[in-house]
Amino acid sequence: MSDPQPVYLSDYQPPAYRVIHTELTFDLDPAATHVKARLLFERNDQADDKAPLVLDGEQLTLISLAIDGTALTEADYQLDDHGLKIHTVPASFSLESEVKIAPSTNTALEGLYQSSGMYCTQCEAEGFRRITFYPDRPDVMATFTVTVIGDVQKEPILLANGNPVARGEMEGGRHFVKWEDPFPKPCYLFALVAGNLHKVEDHFTTMSGRDVTLQIWVEEENLDKTEHAMASLKRSMEWDEQTYGREYDLDLFMIVAVNDFNMGAMENKGLNIFNSAAVLTHPQTATDATFQNVEGIVAHEYFHNWSGNRVTCRDWFQLSLKEGFTVFRDQCFSADTNSAPVKRIQDVSFFRTAQFAEDAGPTAHPVRPDHFIEITNFYTLTIYEKGAEVVRMLCNLVGWENFRRGSDAYFERFDGQAVTIEDFVECMAQASGEDLSQFMRWYSQAGTPEIDAYGEYDYVHSEYRLTLRQRTPATPGQPEKLPMHIPIRMGLVGTKSGQDLTLTLAGEKLGKDAVIHLRDEEQTFVFTDVAEAPVPSLLRDFSAPVKLNFPYSREELAFLLTHDSDGFNRWDAGQRLAMLALDDLIAAHRNGVEKVMDSRVTEAFRTLLTGSTVDKAVLSEMLTLPSEAYIAEQQPIVDVDAIHAAREFVRQSLALVLRDEFMAIFEANRTDEPYAPTPEQIAQRSLKNTALSYLMSIEDEKAVALCEEQVAVDHNMTDVRHALTLLVHSDRDDLSAPALKAFGEKWAHDPLVMDQWFTIQVTRPQPDVLERVQFLMQHPAFSIKNPNKVRALIGAFAQNRVNFHRLDGKGYALLADVVIELNRLNPEIAARLVTPLTRWQRFDENRQSLMRAQLKRIKEEPLSSNVYEVVEKALA
């Protein structure tokens, strides 16, 4: 077999034939589902009239093929593993086909498969070709009529996109439902679900007064876990009307929860399919973080109805057109619904850890890649999260009003079409009159721009000179980089007044908080009439996805921590201050020198704990040290043990000195109000649990007792899980072992809680974790075929820095074993799981060779194109 070959954006050709209407009939059977298709084709005007008809098709057993009722013979077409080519077809015709597929053995979870006995589909990106022969590309948009035939007993519920238009009984205990979707759509938005499902139903009246029926379909035992998703859905519908003027367009909107799902959820038209982990919540089984995640994902998929479905992507290189925009929309929704500063802090802190790492590694790619082997490998943090940052910059550059007008123009002009990123940006340029040509580099250039900044205050002339120099490091395939257009929101905080000073640039008064535009490699901005020496506050609210270095002293950071008017930068100043202290401690640990705590950090924390007026949710974030993964991102060579030791040292030092303050915070934020996922309660729990974490880092006896108490009070999973985690991650196995056992037995029936039970155990720092992982892989609640289980156990283990990176290489070998097994079962998940090994360049030589050895071992296998592409890049 030859190596898989990439496809190129520059090779894009419009389709020679369009599908006007698609009619499908599914006769469901686990091992032999029959799919009949009747497709109405029309040749495109521009196409050659001798153009053959090329259809995608994979893992299909062809039964029959006819054009306009005349059966085709083998001489009429060419069939291989990837599809079907029919040599000559008329300008307009109907193609009838019948194929056989096997949902029960579909472990890849692409196309039609079975999950916990029910049938469901996942077609994005290229799964529809595993259902029937079809031009499986997003620029082919058709209306669909779908008939689903199933067993009355086993599949009482038969769902597809759009509206049900007919149903009836058939012989042999079978029945059918016929669905019609009047909106032309690409086949990646097709969906079918069949099984023994139960629903909760609600209603939403749209802004034009139409009644929409809302349904959430789940297994019977989960009926009590749908309330939050339903409330989130209604809030999303209202938000999109008020914020973007976008109304829902069908009379029915359905969400289905399935247990086996590769990603979070999928925006199929009128029939969103969700990973059960992304929809089900109950105070006793889901944490606050899950409640918030569910709200965000429900919104995300709903928002796709416009940004993705009504206006879709011309080709998969444009993936960020729908994903970047939709992530930006869901981030704004969550910010409006919860604490806006905390939402931003959490998103950015995740982004700077995980996306920066991706951008600096062997799989780095632009927001719009120009080639790929396997598109499912490109559902990445760069496409989603960096894409959202780019849309956010656009919005800030043109201003909300222009952005909204640009968005209106985009939805009106391109409704029902498959378009490109240029089409979107052009709408924004037209609405605002801005020149966005240099800005387009954000879509084509990979890598994280780094800015070195320095400033000088001139007392004599009352001037502040700020010099910024940008540089984007080389990434695979892009050795040279051009300067980017980088919007930098900033202020100058007066050291005497503690206030933002008015910014005057080239004689123009910009106000106290303004955006400067860095376009050249190096630029100096001279602010005049600066009455007192300032400390600059740069990149406020993370106004661009870049790394910004400024030689702040610790005193200046402590000053910004208390005085910056931008909440995000106050938090960031605290993180930078902690990083400086951590750097010293990492060095001390490596050099075997005694560690000494920086008193400026301790004093900053004391101020936060005692005198703080910031809201509880922000305070909790400010009291949280940078994660080990984030610290690692900042080091030239990652020393996992030194990082762990330094971070633990800071936590313990703070806890020892500020024990009473942490205890006071803990006590002040306990409550026995009934659980509600409100921003107020979430903030309070978060602050309380942060305090408890510090106290447990020194195994304070009272804190240990509080943890035991909190585990036992079955009030909400947030508190229970936090306390259980603290016990399990402490050295008190005498207490944690029985608590873990009791928890595991109590929740054995609930897969989503068992996922948490797995994760808690394999993320602890103690050295027995590898053996635990091996042991838990044999646990009846674990299954390698379920992506949630793989993520909860194996994925979580690979995030356990001290244990995954064991010096004997056994952590790497375990991951490679699982990747090799999953490569056969579920290539999409296997390719994602291998990621930690691809970051080998970041570690010491010894670990580098151990990691590379495992990558080479994987490469010896007969690989799926998914795993091949990742491993190939990692070893290049």
Binding site for Zn ion (CB under 5 A): 323, 326
* Residue with Cβ nearer Zn ion (239 or 812): 239
* Residue with Cβ nearer Zn ion (179 or 188): 188
First to last CA, the chain: 20
Find tokens 């500063």 and name the residue: 341
- Listed ranges 47-55, 122-130, 526-534, 587-595: which one lies at the site for ligand TRP (CB under 6 A): 122-130
Q: Which of 262, 318, 575, 693 is the binder for ligand TRP (CB under 6 A)?
A: 262
**Residues 6 or more apart in contact with residue 70 via CB below 8 angstroms:** none
- Listed ranges 81-89, 141-149, 157-165, 257-265: which one lies at the site for ligand TRP (CB under 6 A): 257-265
Q: Which of 108, 266, 655, 770 is the binder for ligand TRP (CB under 6 A)?
A: 266
What tokens does 737 get?
């072992």
Query: Residues 96, 295, 301, 556: which is the catalytic one?
Result: 301
Indicate which of Zn ion, ligand TRP, none lies near residue 376 (CB less than 5 to 8 Å, by partner kind).
Answer: ligand TRP
* Residue with Cβ nearer ligand TRP (300 or 540): 300
Whether residue 385 lies in the annotated active site: no
Q: Which of 295, 323, 541, 719 is the binder for ligand TRP (CB under 6 A)?
A: 323
* Residue with Cβ nearer ligand TRP (383 or 618): 383
**If binding is defined by CB under 6 A, does position 379 make contact with ligand TRP?**
yes
Indicate which of Zn ion, ligand TRP, none lies near residue 215 (CB less than 5 to 8 Å, by partner kind).
Answer: none
* Residue with Cβ nearer Zn ion (308 or 455): 308
Indicate which of Zn ion, ligand TRP, none lies near residue 262 (CB less than 5 to 8 Å, by partner kind).
Answer: ligand TRP
- Give the rounded distance of the alpha carbon of 616 from its chain centre: 26
Going by C-alpha positions, the residue among 126, 98, 96, 133 that lies closest to residue 111 is: 126
* Residue with Cβ nearer ligand TRP (323 or 566): 323
Length of the chain, please? Answer: 876
What tokens does 210 get?
């139409």
Position with the least CB separation from ligand TRP? 263
Q: What distances in angstroms separate CA 206 from CA 210, 301, 307, 309, one per listed residue?
A: 5, 18, 18, 19
In the complex, the smallest distance separating the C-beta of residue 345 from ligand TRP, rounded to whole angstroms, is: 23
What tokens does 390 get?
């780019």
**If binding is defined by CB under 6 A, does position 265 make contact with ligand TRP?**
yes
Q: What distances in angstroms separate CA 400 from CA 334, 394, 406, 429, one per listed residue?
A: 17, 9, 10, 13
H or E stretch including 451? strand 450-458
Q: What distances in angstroms separate CA 548 from CA 25, 40, 449, 489, 542, one per listed residue?
A: 56, 55, 9, 12, 10
Q: Which of 155, 301, 500, 628 is the binder for ligand TRP (CB under 6 A)?
A: 301
Indicate which of ligand TRP, Zn ion, none lies near residue 759 (CB less than 5 to 8 Å, by partner kind).
Answer: none
Computed on alpha carbons and rounded to an integer, the radius of gyration of the chain in Å comes to 28
H or E stretch including 379? none
- Judge whether 535 and 493 are in contact, CB under 8 Å: yes
* Residue with Cβ nearer ligand TRP (374 or 572): 374
Tell me whether the omega of the peptide bond preceding residue 125 falls within 30 degrees of 0, making it cis. yes
| Number of C-beta neighbours around residue 778 at 10 A | 7
Q: Which of 118, 187, 263, 446 is the binder for ligand TRP (CB under 6 A)?
A: 263
What tokens does 668 get?
């002040």
* Residue with Cβ nearer ligand TRP (257 or 265): 265
**If binding is defined by CB under 6 A, does position 267 make contact with ligand TRP?**
yes
Cα(778)–Cα(770) distance, rounded to whole angstroms? 13
Sign of CA dihedral 737, 741, 743, 744: positive
Neighbouring-strand partners of residue 119: 114, 194
Find tokens 């042999």 and name the residue: 172
In the complex, the smallest distance separating the C-beta of residue 787 from ligand TRP, rounded to whole angstroms, is: 10
Indicate which of Zn ion, ligand TRP, none lies near residue 722 (CB less than 5 to 8 Å, by partner kind).
Answer: none
Indicate which of ligand TRP, Zn ion, none lies near residue 358 (CB less than 5 to 8 Å, by partner kind).
Answer: none
**If binding is defined by CB under 6 A, does position 124 make contact with ligand TRP?**
yes
- Listed ranges 29-37, 118-126, 204-212, 802-810: which one lies at the site for ligand TRP (CB under 6 A): 118-126
Indicate which of ligand TRP, Zn ion, none lies near residue 601 (CB less than 5 to 8 Å, by partner kind).
Answer: none
Where on the chain is the footprint of ligand TRP (CB under 6 A)?
Answer: 122, 124-125, 262-267, 300-301, 323, 376, 379
